Structure 1
Amino acid sequence: MRRSVVPVLFLVAAGLFVPSPASAAGNTLTVNVGTTVRPVTHVASGGLYAVDTGTKPPLEQMYPLKMNHLTQPPYGVQQLGNGATVPCCDGLQVAGKVTAAGARQFWRLPDIYKDFPYKWVSWADWESKVRTMVNARLGATTTTNIDGYELWNEPDWTWNTSSAGAFNAGWTRTYQLIRTLDTVTPIVGPSYSIYNHDWLVAFLTNAKNTGTLPDVIVWHELDVHSYNNVAAHVSDYRAIEQSLGISARPISINEYASPDQVDIPSVAAHYMAVFERYGIRDAERAYWYEAGTLNGLLYNNSPTASYWAYKWYGDMAGNIVQTVPQSWLDGVAAYDSTRKIVNVVFGGDSGANTVKVNGLSGLGSQVSVVLSRTGTTGRTTNSSPTTVSTSTYPVSGGSITVPVSGMDALAAYQLLITPTSGVSTWQQRYEAENATAVNANRFSSGSASNGGYVGQIDGTANMRNQSFVDFIVNVPAARAYTMTIGYANATGATATQGLAYNGGAWQTVSYPPTAAWGVFGSTISTSVTLKAGYNVIRLAKGAPNFAGGTGYAELDYLQLA
Structure 2
Amino acid sequence: MKRNPARKSAARPGWRPWTLPVLAALGAAVLAAATLDPAPAAAADSEVTVDLAAQGAAPTAVGSGFLYGLSQDGSAPADNLLQPLKPALFRGGGARIAGGGWLGDGYTAGAGYRVRINSALSQARRVTAAPYRATYHLLVSDVWGADTTQPASTVYPCDNGDCSNWAAFVDRVVADVQASGIPVAYDIWNEPDGTGFWQRGVNSPQYYRMWDTAVREIRRLVPAAQIVGPSYSGYNHGWLDSWLGQTKADNTLPNVLNWHFGDDPATDAADARALESAHGIAPLPLTINEYLFSQQQNSAYTAWFLDRLSASGVTAAAHAIWSDCCGAGTLDSLLAGGQPTGQWWVYQAYARLSGRLLATTGGGGVAVAAAADSSAHQVLALLGNNSGQGGTTTVTVRNLSAASWLLHSGAVHATVQRIPDQSPLSAPVTVFDADVATDGATLHLPVTRTSGSDAYTVTLTPGNGSTGPVDPTVVVDGTDTSTSDLDHFGYGANWGVTNGVSDMYQQTANWSYTGGAVATFTFRGTQVALHAVRDADQGIMSLSVDGGSPVTVDNYAPSRNASGVVWTSPRLAVGTHTVTITNTGQRNGASGGTNIALDRADVTPS
**TM-score in terms of structure 2 length:** 0.60
**Match status 1:373 vs 2:407:** no
Select 1:347's aligned residue among 374, 377, 384.
384
* TM alignment of 1:1-150, pairs within 5 A: 23-52=42-71, 53=73, 55-73=75-93, 90-99=119-128, 100-117=131-148, 119-122=154-157, 123-141=163-181, 143-144=182-183, 146=184, 148-150=185-187
Match of 2:199 in 1: 160
Deviation at 1:113, TM superposition (A): 3.6
Q: CA deviation at 1:255?
A: 0.6
Deviation at 1:167, TM superposition (A): 1.2
Query: What secondary structure, in the 3-state scheme, does the structure 1 residue paired with 2:277 have?
Result: helix
Would you say the 8 A contact 1:22–1:328 is kept in 2? no
- Superposed displacement of residue 280, structure 1: 0.9
Q: Please, which runs of 5 or more residues in structure 1 have no aligned partner?
A: 1-20, 423-561
Work out whether residues 256 and 285 of structure 1, in 8 Å CA contact, stay in contact via their aligned partners in 2. yes
Deviation, 1:104, is: 1.5
**Is the CA contact 2:138–2:186 (under 8 Å) kept in the aligned structure 1?**
yes
Q: CA deviation at 1:128?
A: 2.5
Structure 2 SS opposite 1:91:
helix
Give the deviation of 1:341 after TM superposition. Answer: 1.0
After superposition, give the CA deviation of every residue in 1:39-89 in whole Å (9 maximum; x if it has no partner). 2000111111112236421111111111121112169976889xxx99698
- CA deviations on 1:199-219 (whole Å, 9 max, x unpaired) are 112211121112111111001
Is contact 2:257-2:286 (8 Å) kept? yes
The alpha-carbon distance between structure 1 residues 269 and 94, as it changes in their structure 2 partners (threshold 3 A), is same
Q: Is the 8 A contact 2:94 2:117 kept in 1?
A: no
1:258 is aligned, of 276, 293, 296, to 293
- Distance in 1 between residues matched to 2:252 and 2:412, nearest whole Å: 54
Candidates 421, 434, 439, aligned match of 1:391: 434
1-side partners of 2:355 and 2:65: how far apart?
19
Aligned mate of 1:216, from 240, 256, 260: 256
In the alignment, the residues of structure 2 paired with residue 43 and residue 297 of structure 1 have an alpha-carbon distance, to the nearest angstrom, of 17
Q: 1:309 and 2:328 equivalent?
A: no
Q: Counterparts of 1:141-540 in structure 2 under 5 Å?
A: 141=181, 143-144=182-183, 146=184, 148-157=185-194, 158-161=197-200, 166-221=206-261, 226-227=263-264, 230-262=265-297, 264-290=298-324, 291=326, 292-348=329-385, 349-361=389-401, 362=404, 363-364=406-407, 365-378=410-423, 381-420=424-463
Residue-by-residue CA offset, 1:355-376 (whole Å, 9 max, x unaligned) = 1112333112322111101122
Q: Distance in 1 between matches of 2:345 and 2:279?
A: 42
Paired residues of 2:64 and 2:87 also in contact (CA < 8 A): yes
Of 202-211 and 394-403, more deviation after overlay is shown by 394-403
| RMSD of equivalent CA atoms | 2.8
Letter in 2 for 1:315: R
The one-letter code of the counterpart of 1:161 is R
AA aligned to 1:366 is A
Q: Aligned in 2, Cα 1:330/1:244: closer, same or farther, shift over 3 Å?
A: same
Radius of gyration: which is bigger?
2
Give the whole-Å Cα distance in 1 for the aligned partners of 2:336 and 2:144: 28
1: CA distance, partners of 2:118 / 2:444: 46
Write out the 4+ residue segments of structure 1 that deviate beyond 3 Å after TM superposition: 21-25, 74-81, 85-89, 118-125, 162-165
Partner Cα distance (2:219, 2:95) in 1: 18
Q: Which amino acid aligns with 2:307?
A: A
Residue-by-residue CA offset, 1:486-528 (whole Å, 9 max, x unaligned): xxxxxxxxxxxxxxxxxxxxxxxxxxxxxxxxxxxxxxxxxxx
Counterpart position of 1:426: none
Is the CA contact (8 Å cut-off) linking 1:58 and 1:301 kept in structure 2? no
- Aligned partner of residue 193 in structure 2, secondary structure: helix
CA contact (8 A) 1:79 1:113 kept: no
SS of 2:303's partner is helix
Cα-to-partner distance string for 1:323-372 (whole Å, 9 max, x where unaligned): 21111121211111221211111032413332111233311232211110
Give the Cα–Cα distance (whole angstroms) in 1 for the partners of residues 236 and 228 of structure 2: 17
Look up the SS of the partner of 1:161 in the other structure. Answer: coil
Deviates more, 1:392-401 or 1:334-343: 392-401
Is 160-169 or 72-81 further displaced after alignment?
A: 72-81
| Displacement after TM superposition at 1:26 (Å) | 2.2
TM-score (norm 1): 0.64
Are the aligned partners of 1:330 and 1:346 in contact in 2 as well (CA < 8 Å)? Answer: yes
Alpha-carbon offset, residue 394 of structure 1: 1.8
- Tell me the alpha carbon deviations over residues 298-333 of structure 1, each in whole angstroms, 9 at most, x when there is no partner: 112220111111101111111221221111121211
Distance 1:194 1:40 in 2: 26
Q: From the superposition, tell whether residues 79 and 319 of structure 1 become closer, same or farther in structure 2 (CA, over 3 Å).
A: farther
Whether the aligned pair in 2 keeps the contact of 1:75 and 1:133 (CA below 8 Å) is no
CA distance in 2, matches of 1:240, 1:54: 37
Which stretch of structure 1 is more off in the superposition, 194-203 or 366-375?
194-203
Aligned to 1:232, the other structure's residue is in SS state: helix
Once the two structures are TM-superposed, the CA of residue 169 in structure 1 deviates from its matched residue by: 2.5
Provide the identity percentage: 30
- Kindly provide the amino acid, as one letter, of the partner of residue 82 in structure 2: M
Alpha-carbon distance in 1 for matches of 2:100, 2:190: 15
Change (3 A) 1:74 1:211: farther
Contact 2:187–2:229 (8 Å) recurs in 1:
yes
Q: Is this contact kept in 1: 2:95–2:147, CA < 8 A?
A: no
Q: How many residues align?
A: 388
Conserved 8 A contact 2:192-2:231 = yes
Does the C-alpha gap of structure 1 residues 31 and 78 become closer, same or farther in structure 2, counting only changes over 3 Å?
farther
Counterpart residue identity of residue 277, structure 2? Q
- CA–CA distance in structure 2, aligned partners of residues 135 and 383 of structure 1: 45
